[in-house]
Amino acid sequence: MRPELTSRDILLLKICFSVLIVFVMVRFVIMPGIGRYQENRMQAELLQEEMDEMQAENVILVVPKPYIATYPKDRRDRIWTLARFVQYVKMIEGK
């Protein structure tokens, strides 16, 4: 004798699979994204503190021009490009 599925059984199966899909989506798609977001925020805050410390010690950060866009907008004026640094060194050596 084969058990037969009623419409109620099918509905319960659909609900169970829907709950399972939601769980998988939250656990493996949404939660890792939240962790990366929080990690990026913490790194950004640390970077700002480090840049403030560098400025207090009169240290200038030198990075390639394409990377300057990755730094906070309010701190970009403190960063020199490699070209600006080379120009500064040439000026110092020219004296």
What pLDDT digit, counting tens, does each position of 70-89 carry?
A: 888 888 888 999 999 999 99
Categorise residue 21: left if φ over 0, alpha if ψ from -120 to 50, beta otherwise. alpha
What CA dihedral angle connects 89, 69, 79 and 48, to 10 degrees?
A: -150
With 90 as the cut, is the pLDDT of residue 20 above it? yes
With 70 as the cut, is the pLDDT of residue 25 above it? yes
pLDDT tens by residue, 32-71? 777 777 777 778 778 888 888 988 999 998 999 998 888 8
* CA–CA separation, 48 and 9 (whole Å): 57
* CA–CA separation, 68 and 80 (whole Å): 8
